[in-house]
A = this chain, B = another copy of it.
Amino acid sequence: MSLTAAILGANGYGGSGLVRRLRRHPEIGAIRYGSRTLAGQPLHAAWPNLAGLEDGVGDVRFLAPEEAIEGADVVFLATPHGATAPWVRMARAAGARVIDLSADSRLDAATYSTWYGEHPHPEDLEHARYGLVEGHRHELPGAGIVAAPGCNATAVSLALLPFAVEGLLSDQDTPVCTVIAAASGAGRTPAPGLHYPELAENARPYKAAGTHRHLAEIEATLGRARSQGRNLRSQGAFDAYPVSFTPHLVAGIRGILATCTFRPARSTNATELHDVLQDFYRTDSVTHVQNELPDMKAVANTDRVLLASRLDERSGLATVFSVIDNLGKGAAGQAVQGFNVAFGFTETTALEMEAPWP
């Protein structure tokens, strides 16, 4: 098979990872790069790292988004929240299947409207499958729309998912999840808080106290897991499971480190916590459960997840850690992983598995 793929928003940070992965994907024969602002310009106008590469990229130019969609078998949407739903519609009308990296296909219409405002095309949402592959793998094959999860949602959900499935998350408890997130998660548009001299040597909390929109995904995923077990269903009613979530922006390029602390629903020990993680992810491809507390950098530029757990014997609280690259497993990598499952390819095709070090 040789597919034609389109990438919309190919000049942004989500697009960067898609360009990298799809260019070497053996099942993709042609790529059409869409960018409203750079249409007509060569790829290296956006990506200095691509200057001079010999495989024809130098000749390839960005297209207007509408043009990029034409003739595509699959359209990857790395476009902003709120503005993406119309592209979903247009791509599907043109006969393509969609991998949506925005939030526009992740939630049911009611939840979406709570966090993002009215959804313009709620009727399309029934075709969407939530692309957290580790929970939704079974329902992705053949999906018309795969909704790649948010980066913070991915890190937190994967840390707690096994415990939700195993009944270790209690109704009497609210897990406290904090995240350390590098700057690329905020996108490529210059902004005062991301100006180098302002962010260097700095760290700051943001969207604290239940105001970050990724909470909707996390609470849906954990709620579903508590009632549905391992094979989660994107459609249908569910009871959300509330968590506390506080993200912190730090001075770094890539990476999310999630720290999730909860009181287990029953008496447990450190070994059991570790085994719950280990067992849950035993057959998964991009996750790895380890004893050592993870380095965020050990997954930089990859699509992998490292997880570890600890039990505080004094307080009885469990803490689970996960690290991802927000642009890898948190964006383009997860999108390609979902694409692979949806199209029946080997799940890790074209994924990044080995971080450079240092």
Contact = CB atoms under 8 A, between A and B. Distances in A.
Interface of A: 13, 16-17, 20, 23, 47-54, 174, 176, 178, 180, 182-184, 188-192, 194-206, 208-210, 242-244, 246, 248, 250-255, 257, 259, 261, 263, 285, 288-290, 292-302, 304, 306, 310-315, 317, 319, 321, 353-358
Q: Enumerate the 4 nearest inter-chain pairs by beta-carbon distance, A residue then B residue, closest first.
A: A52-B288, A209-B310, A190-B190, A197-B358
Contacts of A310: 208-209
Given A49-B298, A202-B296, A353-B53, A13 B197 contact: yes
Contacts of A208: 293, 310, 312, 319, 321
B205 A257 contact: yes
17 contacts: A48-B298, A48-B357, A49-B299, A53-B353, A176-B317, A183-B196, A200-B252, A201-B253, A203-B252, A203-B295, A204-B296, A205-B257, A210-B312, A210-B313, A210-B314, A246-B259, A250-B250
A307 to B, nearest CB: 10
Contacts of A54: 285
A206 B321 CA distance: 11
Contact of A253 (B184, B200, B263, B304): B200
A358 B263 CA distance: 38
Contacts of A210: 312-315
